[in-house]
Amino acid sequence: MFYHAYEHYLESAFPYDELRPLTCDGQDTWVVNVLQEGVDFDIDVNASVFETNIRVVGGLLSAHLLSKKAGVEVEVGWPCSGPLLRMAEEAARKLLPAFQTPTGMPYGTVNLLHGVNPGETPVTCTAGIGTFIVEFATLSHLTGDPVFEDVARKALKALWKNRSDIGLVGNHIDVITAKWVAQDAGIGAGVDSYFEYLVKGAILLQDKELMSMFLEYNKAIKNYTKFDDWYLWVQMYKGTVSMPVFQSLEAYWPGLQSLIGDVQNAMRTFLNYYTVWKQFGGLPEFYNIPQGYTVDKREGYPLRPELIESAMYLYRATRDPTLLELGRDAVESIEKISKVDCGFATIKDLRDHRLDNRMESFFLAETVKYLYLLFDPDNFIHNDGSVFDVVITPYGECVLNAGGYVFNTEAHPIDPAALHCCRKQKEEQWEVEDLMREFYSLKKNKKFTLKRASDHGEGEGAKDPEDASLEKGGEKRSYKKNSHSLLSCPSQSFNSKLAVLGQVFLDNT
């Protein structure tokens, strides 16, 4: 059913005659033309910095990294070059003027042609400041330009620096003065993806600092906002309850908890949210926890993905059939309540299931995708590292498609291995080659060779992977034999560890 909805959506959004060029010779070449000619971002348009990043930059990066797997003929040097990567970089550069503030925290809106408008408000939501590290770090690693990761990190650290004495952050802040304008603290709207990107950034980059920041926030969140496995809104300086409500956007939290290994707490919170779903056939935007009912003027359900997203993550971690039941209920509810001739409509009011004349883009980008992945255990996204591809880049060989994909907050998957394909730094090259040696050791019936890339990206002589040392520029580096396979989740010195299914397990042994 969702496939046909997607077909209808494309046909209504892009009439077929507009997609087919006049000189197509019987083939649809619209996508090819876009890849060849690119997209013009030099337009006089005010754009959301947050939305442009997660949708445009994130979508282009994900499509770039998945293009070869999708059968697209990639150019020489991929994944370190390519038309989609160049488009992502161009779009991201249009966002950089927003970060030119005294605090490093970005404005919420930027004009793609002129930069930040002189009268632009300096007040931005927390999520709009802290939701860049996944896309921008990926872009820096693929292009070699550190400016993107640098501005994303500076913004994250600025929020961290301005947390309250009890360890909480508010909802909106002035990016010029760093004064909190909205002081409600919680895990939902306006804050949510900031916490999400601390965890996912830590996983993607194996960054101990980002993970430690989240774990400190997590302690404060548990201390001040958690009540009976629900999470309320509190005053960020005092910890007093300001709104005893559950927002549907908060339903991502159990999935995030599963990524740090806190599966038991995640399941308890998830079951709370699932009871709300069963009560209404969807999640209302706001749910009054003490009253057990919707909040006035917040009774709608625009087919958001967050609860299904959490179900997908938790099912990968637990295989609990309750999570499949939620998936079944979601499919049946959406099919029964929301299906219309041209797609799937937003539910305007869950109390009587009245519909609105709109379908949100995240329904296709996220909700349907997470539902599909929940019921497709053999999907390549769930790869446990047992299969992978080896590609040749200007900097040597690298492993791709081995699993552990990190989803950005718009559900665009990023292959973390790709971040190690395009770097010239010697130390990182050594780390990648160590990883490759471990993979190759699993293939005892074949012999692989590794090429050391020079400082200028040109490979030197091939080395035997069983050799115990490598030489480069007069230097000699010894390799220690590992007594374990990388796929067995060995103990690591890093106190937050990434497992093959994308989970981070805390070192509490």
User: Does 51 participate in catalysis according to the annotation?
Assistant: yes
Question: Rounded to 5 degrees, what are φ and ψ at 286?
Answer: -130, 140
Number of neighbours of residue 401 by Cβ within 10 angstroms: 20
CB atoms < 10 A from the CB of 384, how many?
Answer: 13
Q: DSSP string covering 270-314, please?
A: HHHHHHHHHHHTS--SEEETTTTEEPTT---B----HHHHHHHHH
Which of 153, 142, 117, 178 has its CA nearest to residue 64?
Answer: 142
Q: Residue 331, exposed/middle/buried by CB under 10 A (0-12, 13-18, 19+)? A: middle
DSSP per-residue codes, 186-242: -SSTTTHHHHHHHHHHHHHHT-HHHHHHHHHHHHHHHHHTEETTEE-EEETTT--EE
Q: Does 409 count as an annotated binding residue?
A: yes
| Pairwise CA distance, residues 116 & 292, whole Å | 44
- Give me the count of residues in the chain: 509
- d(C-alpha 91, C-alpha 107), whole Å: 16
Q: Which of 196, 285, 299, 433 is catalytic?
A: 285
> Which H or E element spans position 463?
strand 459-463
Residue owning tokens 């000699």: 476
Residue 180 makes CB contacts below 8 A (sequence gap 6+) with 162, 170, 172, 173, 174, 236
Backbone angles phi, psi at 255, to 5 degrees: -65, -40
* Among 89, 184, 192, 410, the one annotated catalytic: 192
Query: Does 467 qualify as catalytic in the annotation?
Result: no
**For the purposes of burial, counting CB atoms within 10 Å of the CB of 402, is it exposed (0-12), middle (13-18) or buried (19 or more)?**
buried
Q: 135, 184, 306, 397: which is the annotated catalytic residue?
A: 306
List the structure tokens of 228.
């009976």
Q: Choose among 158, 393, 188, 426: nearest CA to 286.
A: 188
The two structure tokens encoding residue 250 = 């908060």
**Residue 216 known to be catalytic:** no
| 306 in active site | yes
Query: What are 4's two structure tokens?
Result: 């046909």
- Of residues 330, 306, 325, the one with CA closest to residue 315: 325
Give the tokens for residue 399: 């492993």
> Annotated binding site: which residue ranges?
409
Active site residues: 51, 192, 285, 306
> Annotated binding site for Ca(2+): which residue ranges?
409
